[in-house]
Amino acid sequence: MASKYIIKGGKPLKGAVRIGGAKNSSFKLMIASLLADGESRLLDISRIGDVEITKQVIEILGGQVKKPGKGTIFVNPDKIKSFRIPQDFGYKSRASMMFAGPLLARFGQAYLPLPGGDQIGKRPVDRHLEGLKALGVKVKNIDGFIQLECQVLKGAKYRFAKNTHTGTETLIMAAVLAKGTTLLENAALEIEVDDLIDFLNKMGAKIKRLPNRVIKIEGVKKLKGTIHKAIPDRNEAVSYACAALATKGDIIIENAKAEHLTAFLDKVKEAGGHYEADHYGLRFWYEKPLKAIDVSTAPHPGFMTDWQALWTTLMTQAQGQSEIIETVYEYRFAFTQDLLEMGAKIKLFNPKVKNPEEFYTFNLDDDEDNNFHAVRVFGPTKLKGKELRVTDIR
């Protein structure tokens, strides 16, 4: 039986809450641990499905995963003996492609199911595969699996056609133990990528960012397990912030980092919301009616796509009309149907764009005629409670 929450709304949120480690870092740090010799100890790891699924995959491959305490995971890859991930794990998680680097480094081959995960659009694995080919990997598609082979990974210069967060991380992990130097151009700037880089460098990798979205990776012969604490979850921080502002509340978010949330904080200020940053984290509070503010999602350092649904919901409580445009995923407004049923006034539409290929980050070939890429929100409206079925973490 699925769990349920009964929420009695209509009251301002007040108090303090401490956020955990980033969900977009946690499972990737576990996978990166497989590149090293010996145990890695990971702290502040998020309690999400991808972490549990990643744990199961590592154990199926022969690795050891321990959970000695809340938010703490120890990963020891020394007894890994398989390079095949079962197909059902591909359906459960978006993480499967990220095992490519560690398995290729250990075995010269990897057998990976096509990734699944959140139902927010198609995740283009072509950006991962083209980069792996540049490092000398041979790629075959076989009945829902991707077969990768490469006896010796070799450093190369590769430019991503479009921004790709996980694609950048996949290539970094594939390049750290490759022979020679790898230059990744048009690499993702997300802070979770930096968290991965910090972790790998602690293990002995030689990775650094260069100007103009370039990452330089000098291949090393081996990595050694280490201790690392995941960065705070910026999506969790924004979730609490939007809830506080929407309910006319006043909250402190402990452990939140203002430097991780610049694009969001700029919009909060523009809308008339209030915040302050201090050593403890961030405080958000409501003083006067919010103004409707337009948002267009973009890769970091822009307004994160994960914040789009939260901002759309917040704008139902703001005065005036706002437009929210989604550029990262081709399908990410399914949640608006629930808001409409709760009393929101929202209209879906497609914006007029001069050059869609440059404007949108997603692959245009994956788009469908019935997809909408923007909404107009008319506020403020009073939302009424209803029974909702949450089918997706987002």
**206 and 336 assigned to the same domain:** no
Dist. CA 286–CA 195, nearest whole Å: 32
Last residue of a domain, one of 218, 242, 263: 218
| Cα 204 from chain centroid (whole Å) | 25
Tokens read off for 89: 């794990």
119 — pLDDT class (breaks 50, 70, 90): very low
Query: Residue 63: its pLDDT value, please?
Result: 98
Residue 291 maps to a domain? yes
Dist. CA 150–CA 193, nearest whole Å: 25
Residue 226 maps to a domain? no
**76 and 206 assigned to the same domain:** yes
pLDDT tens digit sequence for 311-361: 999 999 999 999 999 999 998 999 999 999 999 999 999 999 999 999 999
- What total number of domains does the chain contain? 2
Q: From residue 387, give the alpha-carbon distance in Å to each of 118, 150, 241, 341.
A: 21, 51, 23, 10
Dist. CA 100–CA 98, nearest whole Å: 5
**142 and 284 assigned to the same domain:** no
Q: From residue 273, give the alpha-carbon distance in Å to each of 69, 205, 292, 391.
A: 37, 42, 11, 30
Tokens read off for 167: 């694609």
Residue-wise burial string across 35-65, b where 16 or more C-beta atoms lie within 10 A, e elsewhere:
bbeebbbbebbbebebbebbbebbeebebeb
Residue 225 maps to a domain? no
Last residue of a domain, one of 218, 251, 271: 218
**175 and 70 assigned to the same domain:** yes
Query: Residue 393: its pLDDT value, please?
Result: 62
Residue 46 maps to a domain? yes
Residue 227 maps to a domain? no
**214 and 242 assigned to the same domain:** no
Residue 385 maps to a domain? no
**171 and 247 assigned to the same domain:** no
**340 and 208 assigned to the same domain:** no
Residue 224 maps to a domain? no
Q: Is the pTM of this model over 0.85?
A: yes
Edge-to-edge strand order for the sheet containing 72-76?
64-69, 72-76, 40-43, 227-229
Please list the helix, strand and coil fractions of the chain in percent, rounded to the nearest 5, in that order: 30, 25, 40
**95 and 212 assigned to the same domain:** yes
**209 and 307 assigned to the same domain:** no
Last residue of a domain, one of 188, 218, 248: 218
116 — pLDDT class (breaks 50, 70, 90): low
**123 has pLDDT over 50:** yes
**156 and 262 assigned to the same domain:** no
pLDDT tens digit sequence for 349-374: 999 999 999 999 998 988 999 999 99
- The CATH number for 282's domain is 3.65.10.10
Q: Scan for tokens 């995963």, then name that residue.
A: 65
- For residue 166, the one-letter residue type is T
Query: Residue 144: its pLDDT value, please?
Result: 82
**70 and 184 assigned to the same domain:** yes
pLDDT tens digit sequence for 281-304: 999 999 999 999 999 999 999 999
Dist. CA 251–CA 241, nearest whole Å: 8
Provide the domain limits for residue 283.
Answer: 14-18+232-379
Residue 91 maps to a domain? yes
**214 and 259 assigned to the same domain:** no
Half-sphere exposure of 278 (CA within 13 A, CB side): 8
